[in-house]
């Protein structure tokens, strides 16, 4: 049965105050401050990746929309055209994780935090200003279902996803999902904004997906899994703005490592994550889904500690394991109520002036 949605969109004009810039952080590397299990997690990156996939090629997922109870033809004209991938912002990622943790700990399914503070005020603690918006969802079971069956089949949520934001942070705790959108200055000028693997518990084989945005198709876009390179091919969108993927048979290992490597037509090169490798499997000991080594490259010493330790990409100070302390005044966030026993989702949108759409260039 397709989960039923109840909408409570929030629309208004508010100005987020400027905040001090966080210390530079390698793009795509999870932070452990304040969450010692690391954010964004593997599932949070997958949620971000499917969001970028529908942005670059909204029509490609028409069959999924039908399963969710809507159709591509019902989308507005601006929602039917491709948009650029959203880049990761660690402040938005921390804000989204905070809010999902708050909802999971209290059962308060709302854009407002459990203490009643608005989502705009909550985001102001983590994000340096600009156009902001938020989607939340509960009990959809996976990042794919949440994006395709939930948010894209709900007009308010779809409007957030298909609006000309520039940045995104995602938070998943239990069955509570949060997307926080921003229109501020992007943290990367690389060609790959997000990469992930699916399914999360892959054992025999896995799909590896990475988005791409550049003036030309990639000269090289590969995933290096357990030191073996596999070229990615176009799955969704166009060669210059799309999502590339590869299905890889996995070796019989208890812990797998991978990263993406790319090169543009102009000769610029990079990896995602910018440093180290993502990990998955039952015997991985890093605790955050990331290790500081890349095959063929050196390791990374994180600020404040060794590989997998380290400092933060957001503004809050460490709060230890598990959900944040609900007495912490930084736990501030915006509103809708779930029907008892029904999977719901809500959308919030706050505009403080239109952010100009611009392409990332390496």
Return the bridge partners of 169, or none. Answer: 180
When pLDDT is averaged across residues 7-12 and rounded to a whole number, the result is 31
Res 93 pLDDT > 90: yes
Percent of the chain with pLDDT over 90: 69
Cα 298 to Cα 304: distance, rounded to the nearest angstrom: 18
Confidence of residue 47 (pLDDT cuts 50, 70, 90): very high
Average pLDDT of 237-261?
97
pLDDT at 348: 37
Ramachandran bin of 278, using left for φ above 0, alpha for ψ from -120 to 50, beta for the remaining angles: beta
100-111 confidence digits (pLDDT tens): 999 999 999 999
Q: What pLDDT score does 341 carry?
A: 34
Q: Would the pLDDT of 355 be above 60? A: no
Under a CB-based contact definition with an 8 Å cutoff, are residues 58 and 52 in contact?
A: no
What pLDDT, on the 0 to 100 scale, is given for residue 34?
A: 94
Query: By C-alpha distance, which of 333, 320, 259 is closest to 289?
Result: 259
User: What per-residue confidence (pLDDT) applies to 11?
Assistant: 30
In this structure, of 11-20, 222-231, 305-314, the range with the lowest mean pLDDT score is 305-314
Identify which has the larger pLDDT, 162 or 21: 162
Q: Residue range 354-362: average pLDDT?
A: 33
Mapping DSSP onto H, E and C, the string for the chain reads CCCCCCCCCEEEECCCCCCCCCCCCCCCCCECCCCCCCECCHHHHHHHHHHHHHHHCHHHHHHHHHHHCCCHHHCCHHHCCCCCCCEECHHHHHHHHHHHHHHHHHCCCCCCCCCCCEHHHHHHCCCCCCCEEEEEEECCCCHHHHHHHHHHHCHHHHHHHCCCCCEEEEEEECCEEEEEEECCCCCCCCCCCCEEEECCCCCCEEEEEEEEECCCCCCEEEEEECCEEEECEEEEECCCEEEEEEEEECCCCCCEEEEEEEECCCCCEEEECCCCEEEECCCCCCCCCEECCCCCCCCCCCCCCCCCCCCCCCCCCCCCCCCCCCCCCCCCECCCCCCCCCCCEEEEEEECCCCCCCCCCC
The answer to whether the predicted template modeling score (pTM) of the entire model surpasses 0.75 is yes
Mean pLDDT on 223-236: 97
For the stretch 279-330, pLDDT in tens is: 999 999 999 999 999 975 433 333 333 333 222 333 332 223 333 333 332 2
The pLDDT value recorded for residue 23 is 52
């Amino acid at each position: 049965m397709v989960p039923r949605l109840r909408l409570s969109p929030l629309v208004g004009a508010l100005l987020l105050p400027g905040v001090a810039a966080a210390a530079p952080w390698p793009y795509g590397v999870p932070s452990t401050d304040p969450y010692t299990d690391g954010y964004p997690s593997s599932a949070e990156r997958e949620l971000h990746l499917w969001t970028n996939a529908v942005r670059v090629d909204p029509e490609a997922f028409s069959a999924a929309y039908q399963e969710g109870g809507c159709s591509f033809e019902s989308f507005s004209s601006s929602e039917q055209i491709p948009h650029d991938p959203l880049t990761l912002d660690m402040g938005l990622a921390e804000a989204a994780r905070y809010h999902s943790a708050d909802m999971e700990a209290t059962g308060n399914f709302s854009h407002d935090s459990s203490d009643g503070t608005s989502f705009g005020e909550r985001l102001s603690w983590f994000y340096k200003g600009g156009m902001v918006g938020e989607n939340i969802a509960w009990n959809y079971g996976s990042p794919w279902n949440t994006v395709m069956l939930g948010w894209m089949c709900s007009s308010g949520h779809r409007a957030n996803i298909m609006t000309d934001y520039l940045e995104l942070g995602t938070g998943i705790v239990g069955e509570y999902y949060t997307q926080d959108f921003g229109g501020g200055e992007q943290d990367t000028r690389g060609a790959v904004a997000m990469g992930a693997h699916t399914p999360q518990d892959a054992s025999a084989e896995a799909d590896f997906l990475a988005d791409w945005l550049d003036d030309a198709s990639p000269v090289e876009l590969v995933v290096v899994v357990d030191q073996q390179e596999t070229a990615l091919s176009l799955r969704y969108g166009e060669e210059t703005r799309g999502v590339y993927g590869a299905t890889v048979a996995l070796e019989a290992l208890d812990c797998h490592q991978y990263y993406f490597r790319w090169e543009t037509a102009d000769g610029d090169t990079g990896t995602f994550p910018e440093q180290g490798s993502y990990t998955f499997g039952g015997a991985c000991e890093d605790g955050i889904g990331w290790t500081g080594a890349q095959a063929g490259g050196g390791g990374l010493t994180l600020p404040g500690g060794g590989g997998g330790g380290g400092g933060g990409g957001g503004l809050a100070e460490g709060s230890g394991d598990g959900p944040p302390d609900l007495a912490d005044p930084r736990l501030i966030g915006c509103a809708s109520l779930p029907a008892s026993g029904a999977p719901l989702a809500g959308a919030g949108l706050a505009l403080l002036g239109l952010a100009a759409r611009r392409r990332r260039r390496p």
